[in-house]
Amino acid sequence: FRPSPRSCLFVPTAQEERRDHPVAARLARDGVFRPFQQVHVPVALRPPCFPPGNFRPPSYRHHGPVHGWPAPRWPGIYVRMRVSFPDPPPSLPPHARSFPAADSMGSGSKLRLWCSAFACALAFLGARGDDDHLVDITYVESAVAKGAVCLDGSPPAYHLAPGSGSGVSSWLVHFEGGAWCNNATTCLHRSRTPLGSSKEMARQAAFTGILSNASDYNPDFYNWNKVKVRYCDGSSFTGDKEEVDPSTNVHYRGARVWQAVIEDLLAKGMNKAKNALISGCSAGGLTSILHCDRFHQLLPADANVKCLSDAGFFINVKDITGANHAEAFFNDVVATHGSAKNLPSSCTSKLPAGVCFFPQNEVQQIQTPLFILNAAYDSWQGTAHPGARGLRS
């Protein structure tokens, strides 16, 4: 392999063109899932080339173009496949030269974005020809005075693509995924990344999948008002602690962020919506479940409102080690963020708040129509736990 000078990643040399090499597709920082033919072969990051958010990988060792390529030791979502490069090796386009998205789980809890391989299908996969549909970021500056801020105290943010034609009175509000932080250390680390600070977020987001504006590709929602809400609190928008952590200056205000963003959208015309769909991927999919009825209550009484959870149905079961790491982790999330008061009372009145973070204890009480999209066999939930250092797919 030889280094690609502009990207800090590696591409195959001519001498190796007939060998099989692993190629990764990844969810880039801008939120675009790059197809296999548009990415470099990532190997090792070496100084001064680091992912965004000042994250430092645990080691700089070269993973190498060996059979059975191990999972990278830096953040990002990777899907592995094997291909044989022709002679000569293919050229790789400049727009593929982006770093993997920095996660915010910290060294003690490498959850690696529970949105695992191909899980968030509706929002990001199949980005066919609409990569140029970039939508500018909107900062909710007025939210700061209400204490509705990201982990680092910066204002919440979202991307809004206005509707047109028959879709001007219809709204799709999609919540970004990105796991959770469960203690002061992991939340402090997260506060220095795009998943904890609007200061670190990309200024534009590519709208693909159900956010696409291509009528032939996305006939149901292409002309709706489409919103991507940025995830910057680490609690699926449930946290609310008045006090700021004095040791880290971290704010736990996810529920206030959710409320402030929705109020801002209502003021921009969503208060007159005839159709509305709240959706989300992974941790955002959990958001769409936990806030489903609350979202419905804020819209006009005659509005047609539904909820969609994409890869957000996390179950409370033991993993293959025999331990219930997921429940312990969610207990920590709820305690760290003060989430209990913002979880549905229909559950918390009967069960511990940490257990009410699991959708299986929520969905039967939800009154709003809810659609759940989830893998029948989820390899991550069966083999990994929040303390794992990486995700092998």
Do residues 303 and 163 both lie within one domain?
yes
Residue 379: the pLDDT is 66
Q: What is the pLDDT of residue 11?
A: 39
Instruction: Give domain status of residue 336, yes or no.
Output: yes
Residue 183 domain flag: yes
Does the residue 115 lie in any domain? no
Residue that the structure tokens 């939930």 belong to: 381
Asked if residue 192 and residue 89 are part of one domain, the reply reads no
Residue predicted with more confidence, 353 or 245? 353
- Domain housing 276: 121-383
The pLDDT, as a whole number, for residue 74 is 35
CA angle at residue 39 from 37 to 41, to 5 degrees? 110
- Better-predicted residue by pLDDT, 146 or 59: 146
Residues 90, 198 share a domain: no
DSSP 7-74: TS-EE--GGGTTSEEEEEEEBBTTS-B--GGG--B-----TT---STT---S------S-TTPPPPSS
φ/ψ of residue 121, rounded to 5: -65, -45
Q: What are phi and psi of 271, to 5 degrees?
A: -70, -10
Task: Express each pLDDT in 43-100 by its tens digit.
Answer: 333 333 333 333 333 332 333 333 333 333 333 333 333 333 333 333 333 333 232 2
- Statement: residue 137 has pLDDT above 70: yes
Q: Which of 205, 189, 199 is nearest to 103 (CA)?
A: 189
Q: Do 201 and 321 have their domain in common?
A: yes
237 Ramachandran zone, left/alpha/beta (phi>0; psi -120 to 50): left
Q: What is the DSSP string of 320-352?
A: TTS--HHHHHHHHHHHHHT-GGGS-HHHHTTS-
pLDDT digits (tens, 9 = 90+) for 233-290: 999 999 999 999 888 999 999 999 999 999 999 999 999 999 999 999 999 999 999 9
Specify the pLDDT at position 321: 80
Q: What is the mean pLDDT of residues 301-321?
A: 91
Same domain, 98 and 126: no
What's the chain's average pLDDT?
A: 74
Q: Which amino acid is at 262?
A: I
Last residue of a domain, one of 71, 102, 133: 102
- Tell me whether residue 388 is in a domain: no
Query: Measured between alpha carbons, how far is 94 from 252 in angstroms, rounded to an integer?
Result: 38
Is 229 part of a structural domain of the chain? yes
- The answer to whether 265 touches 142, Cβ cutoff 8 Å, is no
- How confident is residue 120, by pLDDT bands cut at 50, 70 and 90? low
The secondary structure of 245-306, three-state, reads: CCCCCCCCCHHHHHHHHHHHHHHCCHHHCCEEEEEEECHHHHHHHHCHHHHHHCCCCCCEEE
**pLDDT value at position 13?**
41
Q: For residue 241, list its beta bridge partners.
A: none
- 8 A C-beta contact, residue 265 and residue 171: yes
In total, how many domains does the chain have?
2
Residue entry with tokens 């940490």: 354
Residue 391 lies in a domain: no
- Pair (44, 168) in one structural domain: no
Q: What is the pLDDT of residues 188-200, one digit of tens each?
A: 999 999 999 999 9
In a domain, 174, yes or no: yes
Q: Which pLDDT score, from 0 to 100, does residue 356 have?
A: 95
**Same domain as 143, residue 95:** no
pLDDT at 297 (0 to 100): 97
Q: Token pair of 8, please?
A: 């800090």
Domain identity same for 28 and 138: no
Mean pLDDT of 4-24: 38
Question: Residue 183 sits in a domain of what CATH number?
Answer: 3.40.50
* Exposure of 219 in the CB half-sphere (CA atoms within 13 A): 1
Tell me which of 41, 71, 102 is where a domain ends.
102
- The pLDDT of residue 103 is 33
Do 129 and 98 belong to one domain? Answer: no
Q: Is residue 228 part of a domain?
A: yes
Q: What is the pTM of this model?
A: 0.69
Q: What's 80's DSSP letter?
A: E
- Does 150 lie in the same domain as 78? no
Query: Which pLDDT score, from 0 to 100, does residue 132 have?
Result: 56
135 and 177 share one domain: yes
Q: List Cβ neighbours of 231 (8 Å cut-off, separation of 6 or more).
A: 175, 176, 177, 178, 195, 237, 283, 284, 287
Q: Residues 173, 50: one domain?
A: no
Spatial contact of 78 and 24, defined as CB atoms under 8 Å apart: yes
- Give the Cα separation of 392 and 349 in Å (integer): 38
